[in-house]
Structure 1
Amino acid sequence: MADPLDEKTRSIILATVPALKAHGLAITTEMYKRLLATPAIRDLFNLSHQQDGEQPKALALAVMCYAEHINDLGALGGMVERIAEKHVGLNILPEHYPYVATALLGAIGHVLGDAATPEILDAWGKAYWFLADILIGREKQIYEGNESTPGGWTGWRSFRVRSRQRETSIITSFELVPTDGGALFRHKAGQYLSFKLDVPEHGSQRRNYSISSAPGEDHYRISVRRQDGGVVSTWLHDSVEEGDILQIANPAGDFFLNEADSNPIVFLTAGVGLTPVISMLGELTQTRTKRSIRYVHGADTAASAAFQQEIRQFAKDALLTADFFYSKDQTQTQGSASGVTSYAGRITPVWLRQTLDRSATYFICGPDSFMRDMVDTLRAEQLPGTQIRYEFFGSAADPALVLSAA
């Protein structure tokens, strides 16, 4: 357990909040510049999020959130848990933390100049190691829990691509089985896999992909959307074939079903955000849950809505009701059949308010703007925070989502 921060340190951290608001992104950008100069550390990051600036933005928000809540760190429990899960997926170890400390303090001094007094740097050094010790402790628990669970592992494990399936013109699924023939860790539906990939002409890359298969199967399945200009997604779609070997970390993530919850469920997804929800649906339908399930999904067209036939079959079997929204399908008209309703257009806050189920737990995943609209609407309707769950894809650089999830 990390020693509590003293009052003087906390006061200094709070006093730096205005400077962080003005210069936080410059500090985190400089920090990553320093970190990425070290090859052993550079290989731990998704470099595409460095190029588009998303990772520095996300870290700047996290640092700001930490500083603003320095006297009430219990409010950041959710954020700390998500960071710990991400770190475990990337195999971050205690020996990596000093590099970050050096880079962060150096960046603060570089950007703030003379304003970064020895007193301020000392306070931020203490604050950094206080949080680092919490994360290291939690990550140790997760690592040990994974290793002691049947089929679990630490580090990277080799998996073979057993099969690949084209779901839509831009989404392809890959079934993965361990090359050692050993048992498979039973993931929690909604979790993701982290990959260490060697992409020709681009070197070592790290990516996370949600598991779209149900827990308990003899494989993991990921369903990957081809991103315009995406280094890894393009490589997976164009070059990775059956029989190829990929390096994968133990499943991670805190976006999953609460087994103790008996509330009705509403899944709100858009685009490839459906992937963790498909895993959840697989688990729920396998167990023939008595919970009411409503599946709501937005796609460009009917042809781009992956797993649509499976959802329609679930609806036909009366396991759920479904609503499909097609934003670019001008020929689509509203209609219902066998538990499925189709709409032309997008999922809107107006529609969400009109169909609101106050007894339900909402699981939301999709582009940041979509999630923000859905989360803001549910919060405005005063739905309890425990009934609003959502998953970040990418680096979580949207302030409204980061702070409301903290």
Structure 2
Amino acid sequence: MLRVETIETIKSTVPVLEVHGKEITKRFYQMMFTHHPELLNVFNHANQKQGRQQTALANAVYAAAANIDKLEAILPVVKQIAHKHRSLGVKAEHYPIVGQYLLAAIKDVLGDAATDDILQAWAEAYGVIADVFMGIEAEMYENAERQEGGWPSFRAFRVERKVKESEVITSFYLVPDDGKAIAAFEPGQYVSVKIEIPGESHTHIRQYSLSGAPGRPYYRISVKREDAIEGRPAGKVSVYLHEQIEEGEILWLSAPAGEFTLDRTDTRPVVLISGGVGLTPMISMLDTLVETDPKRQVTFIHAARNGNVHAMKAHVEEIAAQHPQVSVSWCYEQPTELDKAEGAFQKEGFIDLPWLQTVIPTRDAGFYFCGPVPFMKALNRALKDWGIMASDIHYEFFGPAGDLEQPSETGEAEVSRQR
């Protein structure tokens, strides 16, 4: 337990963290990677360059400071981060390193304002918070290894099939190279894929949602090829997977992880909404629902740029044709002439609340969504404007967690932009 004086000191730093938090976390990563470059084998380099990791850490530090006297309030966030840590291979021995350079970054950025009392308070607070993380993650590692078909770190999987789903999305069917059983998972969870790219100094790890229902002898991931666009560099891992990984080759996977899962105890209708490659966890949820709960009403809504990049459309429409409790609706931002001629979509442009109200039969449902951050921000606002309770809204970030309540830098209207 923290001393009262420590709690008061940490609380006093909250306004400072609100202003300087991202600057502190940026400096933290610079210092840590300079002295421990081996940790670049764990962290996502693209998220570092784009500033997403720094922002996510700044938000987490701010939340911890603001709730230092009631850390149970941030336990859901802690568990979400712990899932990522376990899937990446973050271990207890990494926490002292993080603590050392986080304190050094606070001192470096704040200068004389970071008094000895403040640094001591943060050292004590970090020790308590780190103990919480390490305890939860130790249990997660143990559960990952002990479950039937489980394993603790990374395991070799062979690409059994490689299937092109659209112009930009390809699915990889992965079976364990040792021929043994694989761990079960909950629809919505992901695996980490560890890649060594020739010519690269460090390994790369990416998380990909499992895009099929549990209970198969394989895992399926469906990967969008991230080409360079609008000043953004191409995705090294996604391009490598699309161009270099063929059937028969080996990928190294973590055991399934993640807090974004379908609530199978809820018997109410389900609304699944996705944008771009955000449909992957939704496909897993849809497949699971029609197999295990065929009477439950499902509304499946997907936004894509057009039919050329719309993956798994035929699969979803076939499910809807066979299961009358499933309804589907498509929104195309820039439909092709063929899309228009075939009537391949129900709405042109962006998803908005008036249209959602015409295709979703009831507000008394569980709402799940995933996609680009601007898409999710706009959708989150629309659902709240409609009066959907926060407890019924569930979403997943691809990459470091963000804040859907903050205005989007790229515009709230971009609700169907592909990730």
User: TM range, normalised to the smaller chain?
Assistant: over 0.9
1:240 is displaced (CA, Å) by 0.7
Report the secondary structure of 2:248's partner residue: coil
1:354 is displaced (CA, Å) by 5.2
Q: CA offsets per residue over residues 204-250 of structure 1, 9 Å max, x none?
A: 11110001021000100100001121111111111111111111111
Cα distance between partner residues in 1 of 2:299 and 2:401: 26
Query: In the alignment, residue 222 of structure 1 is paired with which amino acid?
Result: I
Identity percentage over the alignment?
40
1:263 is displaced (CA, Å) by 1.3
Query: In the alignment, residue 29 of structure 1 is paired with which amino acid?
Result: K
Change (3 A) 1:58 1:112: same
2:70 corresponds to which residue? 72
* Residue 350 (structure 2) pairs with residue 346 (structure 1): yes
2:415 corresponds to which residue? none
* Structure 2: stretches of 5+ with no match in the other structure: 228-233, 408-419
Structure 2 matches for 1:281-300, cutoff 5 A? Answer: 281-300=286-305
* Residue 333 (structure 2) pairs with residue 327 (structure 1): yes
State the aligned residue count.
396
Cα distance between partner residues in 1 of 2:25 and 2:116: 19
Whether the 8 Å CA contact 2:353–2:386 is kept in 1: the answer is no
Of 371-380 and 100-109, more deviation after overlay is shown by 371-380
Cα distance between partner residues in 2 of 1:328 and 1:75: 42
Report the secondary structure of 1:400's partner residue: coil
1:126 corresponds to which residue? 124
1:139 corresponds to which residue? 137
TM-score (norm 1): 0.93
* Structure 1: stretches of 5+ with no match in the other structure: none
TM-score (norm 2): 0.90
Query: In the alignment, residue 261 of structure 2 is paired with which amino acid?
Result: F
Cα distance between partner residues in 2 of 1:242 and 1:379: 44
Whether the 8 Å CA contact 2:154–2:253 is kept in 1: the answer is yes
Cα distance between partner residues in 1 of 2:220 and 2:300: 20
Cα distance between partner residues in 1 of 2:396 and 2:402: 13
* Residue 231 (structure 2) pairs with residue 225 (structure 1): no
Cα distance between partner residues in 2 of 1:353 and 1:368: 22
Whether the 8 Å CA contact 1:333–1:342 is kept in 2: the answer is no
Cα distance between partner residues in 2 of 1:373 and 1:335: 29
CA RMSD of aligned residues (A): 1.9
1:372 corresponds to which residue? 377
Report the secondary structure of 1:199's partner residue: coil
Whether the 8 Å CA contact 1:187–1:251 is kept in 2: the answer is yes
Cα distance between partner residues in 1 of 2:341 and 2:368: 24
Whether the 8 Å CA contact 2:274–2:301 is kept in 1: the answer is yes
1:313 corresponds to which residue? 318
Match of 2:281 among 261, 276, 279: 276
Cα distance between partner residues in 2 of 1:128 and 1:399: 26
* Residue 99 (structure 2) pairs with residue 101 (structure 1): yes
Match of 2:263 among 252, 258, 261: 258
Match of 2:152 among 117, 140, 154: 154
Change (3 A) 1:378 1:71: farther
2:405 corresponds to which residue? 400
Report the secondary structure of 2:187's partner residue: coil
1:287 is displaced (CA, Å) by 2.1
Query: In the alignment, residue 395 of structure 1 is paired with which amino acid?
Result: P
Query: In the alignment, residue 33 of structure 2 is paired with which amino acid?
Result: L
Cα distance between partner residues in 2 of 1:13 and 1:355: 48
Of 40-49 and 97-106, more deviation after overlay is shown by 40-49
2:53 corresponds to which residue? 55
Change (3 A) 1:399 1:105: farther
1:210 corresponds to which residue? 209
Of 198-207 and 162-171, more deviation after overlay is shown by 198-207
